[in-house]
Amino acid sequence: MSQTYQAQIYVTLRPSVLDPAGTAVQSGLQQLGFTGVERVRIGKYVELTVTATDDADAKQQVDQMCDRLLANPTIENYRFEVQAVTESLSEGVTA
């Protein structure tokens, strides 16, 4: 039986990769008076739903999506969380 899962995916540049967008945001924050900001890294957040047979299948699908499209494994790291969609989760979703 299939189940719907929601995935939250976080994609960030590898620590060894320069982040000019992060540097620009850091500079802007400091100019606004947030002098305690020492480092900023910019990333992506992706949220999606997927139909799968179980948790392991959902995680495998999301991992493949990240590796093949959502992240560039050469310069980016990714992590994700997957959970089964329940009534309370689906109530907050709008089309």
Could you tell me the domains of the chain?
A: 3-91 (3.30.1280.10)
Run of H or E residues at 8: strand 3-13
Distant-in-sequence, close-in-space partners of 68: CB < 8 Å, separation ≥ 6: none
Q: Determine the distance from the C-alpha atom of residue 94 to the mean position of all C-alpha atoms in its chain, rounded to a whole number.
A: 20
The set of residues, in sequence order, having a beta carbon less than 8 Å from that of 28 and lying 6+ positions away, is none
According to the model, what pLDDT value does residue 1 have?
87
Question: If you ran DSSP here, which 8-state letter would residue 66 be given?
Answer: I
Distance between CA atoms of 43 and 31, rounded to whole angstroms?
22
pLDDT in tens, 15-28: 999 999 999 999 99
What's the whole-model pTM score?
Answer: 0.84
